[in-house]
Structure 1
């Protein structure tokens, strides 16, 4: 096991150094989902083959290697190093195109950049592998909510609602689905219901709380429970 980790660490270091030496603007396919979905040059294909061969020597399977690079990608994403994270996700995808987590990660990155249509396309790829994954479905719903904010089309809001319904059917305690549903009610001007779903989501997982949305909701209707106040100096009173 120690030998495996040493080999993996060496591989990651070599990949990281190569990436650092070749750091380029965000238009570089290396930092675009699925390498920008563009045809690769002969040199790039040879580099891919070399990388895959190295992984075959360092890991028991390409599935295991793919999962390893996914974990490194999440670590970089949590640190705010988006380009480096996407590069790791690309390596994970190269190792295993059937790793649904790669498409999920690409979707999250695209949605964070405001590229909602691209995000939805990636999420759709992930859903082919995990059609009943509650967290994935709630992320799709969130993407459609972002699309609605951009286009103000009822169709986008209906799509968001449909995916959030599916998400909650799979897991009624999915805090993020409940939080997103609060926004659905908000955009339908049903503020009492929006507060109900916001509190339900917060009670399950406080990390689901979107403070920007909270401010918007407070501007429309005071918190029925009095937990939140429309006061920039106020702090949430309940723990």
Structure 2
């Protein structure tokens, strides 16, 4: 365990007696003896790539403009009034708005800048099915990792969501990159509801037995918060609620 050391210069403040308040500056140097470098991480990211993750996020002004131009109409689904787009977004708007999946890809690109050759990185996309986009690879293989992240925006794995398929492949990839010199971490990102939550909990129990911590990110406001929290708690990970996808 590192031992902290403090060095104060000057060690004693030499101030003469005065009636007025006095100010003395000192240089404080903090050091750590026996400190070790941060342990490398064996990462696996599982991203929900279902249809809902691809829907562009519009602000109120943009949405009102679409309604004003007749581009959206109100309808009832299961007795609930909702707005549906009547046509594709105008090209100038489509070029600027982002979907939750776009924000996930941006966050993954930012993470790559922090990886080095000792780390491992794997990426899995899932919806009705799951697909490994980046097999476990060294963290400094930027070109390979960037290609896989870019595929995340294009892959079509169905409209529904079965997170268990992604978790299973993610755990498989962690096993490929496992080493006593690395910590296993799996990150799950989703905005919806999985069809078979019990399978996710079974996989979480298996991950915990292998020493894998799963952290979950629930995007928006419509997802299985209780399930994601149970997955994280069972494995020693963290459950995060992300109201705005751009905050990932």
User: Shorter-chain TM-score category?
Assistant: under 0.3
Greater relative contact order (Cα 8 A, min sep 6): structure 1 or 2?
2
